[in-house]
Amino acid sequence: MNEDEEKKLSLEAEFRDDNLEIKEDTQKEQKDGKEEQKEVEEDPPLGKKVQKSKVKYFIDMGLLVTFTLVFITGIIKFPGLLNALGTNPREVPMYEISLVHDYAAITMGFLILGHLLLNLKWLKNMTLKMARGINIKKLAKRAFAFFIVIIIILLILQEPSVSRFLFGPTDSVIINGVGEFEYEPRKIVSVRPDIFRDGHFSVFDTLVELNRTGKIHMNYHFDETMNTHVIDDINGKKNWWYMAYYDGGWLENNVFRMDHFPYKEKMYIEIVREDESELHRIYDTFKDEVQRLNQNNGRIIIPKVIIRGDKTELVFQDVEVTAHNLRNNMFINDTITAIDIIMSLGDRGLISYELEWYEDIGTAEVKNYFVDKINEDESHGRCGFVYETGSYTYDGFRGNHIHIPSDIRVINSPEYAEWFWICI
Instruction: State residue 41's pLDDT score.
Output: 47
Domain count, the chain: 3
Helix (H) or strand (E) holding 418: strand 416-423
Query: How high does pLDDT run on average in the chain?
Result: 85
When pLDDT is cut at 50, 70 and 90, the band that residue 278 belongs to is: very high
Residue finishing a domain among 82, 106, 132 = 132
**What CATH number is associated with residue 239?**
2.170.130
Cα 315 to chain center, whole Å? 32
Please compute the mean of the pLDDT values over residues 76-81 and round it to a whole number.
70
Please say if the pLDDT value at position 418 is more than 70.
yes
Instruction: State residue 8's pLDDT score.
Output: 55
Instruction: State residue 273's pLDDT score.
Output: 93
Q: Which residue has the higher pLDDT, 159 or 314?
A: 314
Please compute the mean of the pLDDT values over residues 37-41 and round it to a whole number.
47
Per-residue CA distances from 355 to 246, 300, 361, 373, 382 (Å): 21, 22, 15, 7, 17
Please say if the pLDDT value at position 62 is more than 70.
yes
Which residue from 270, 213, 282, 276 is spatially nearest to 245, judged by alpha carbons? 270
Instruction: State residue 142's pLDDT score.
Output: 81
Residue at 406: amino acid letter: S
Which residue from 313, 284, 288, 312 is spatially nearest to 302, judged by alpha carbons? 288
Q: Which residue has the higher pLDDT, 50 or 150?
A: 150
Helix (H) or strand (E) holding 43: none
Q: Is residue 105 part of a domain?
A: yes
Q: Point out the least confidently predicted range of 53-62, 217-226, 272-281, 336-345.
A: 53-62
Same domain? 172 vs 82:
no
Please compute the mean of the pLDDT values over residues 256-278 and round it to a whole number.
94
Q: Specify the pTM.
A: 0.68
When pLDDT is cut at 50, 70 and 90, the band that residue 194 belongs to is: very high
Taking only the tens place, the pLDDT of each residue in 100-133 is: 888 889 999 999 998 888 888 888 888 777 777 6
Tell whether the torsion through CA atoms of 219, 223, 228 and 230 is positive or negative: negative
Please say if the pLDDT value at position 34 is more than 70.
no
| Whole-number percent of the chain with pLDDT over 90 | 54
The H-assigned helical ranges of 352-395 are: none
Q: Is residue 153 part of a domain?
A: no
Residue finishing a domain among 132, 152, 186 = 132
Q: Which residue has the higher pLDDT, 283 or 137?
A: 283
Same domain? 232 vs 260:
yes
Same domain? 234 vs 303:
no
Q: Within 10 Å of residue 338's Cβ, how many Cβ atoms?
A: 23
Please compute the mean of the pLDDT values over residues 37-45 and round it to a whole number.
51
Same domain? 374 vs 408:
yes
- Alpha-carbon distance of 265 to 232, in angstroms, equals 27
Q: Is residue 67 part of a domain?
A: yes
Please say if the pLDDT value at position 25 is more than 60.
no
Please compute the mean of the pLDDT values over residues 279-297 and round it to a whole number.
97
Q: Point out the least confidently predicted range of 6-10, 191-195, 309-313, 412-416.
A: 6-10
When pLDDT is cut at 50, 70 and 90, the band that residue 36 belongs to is: very low
Residue finishing a domain among 279, 309, 344 = 279
* Distance from the first to the final alpha carbon of the chain: 101
Instruction: State residue 170's pLDDT score.
Output: 64
Q: Point out the least confidently predicted range of 55-64, 162-171, 301-310, 329-338.
A: 162-171
Taking only the tens place, the pLDDT of each residue in 377-388 is: 999 887 899 999
* Host domain of residue 407: 296-423
Q: Is residue 161 part of a domain?
A: no
**What CATH number is associated with residue 337?**
2.170.130.30
Please compute the mean of the pLDDT values over residues 304-310 and round it to a whole number.
94
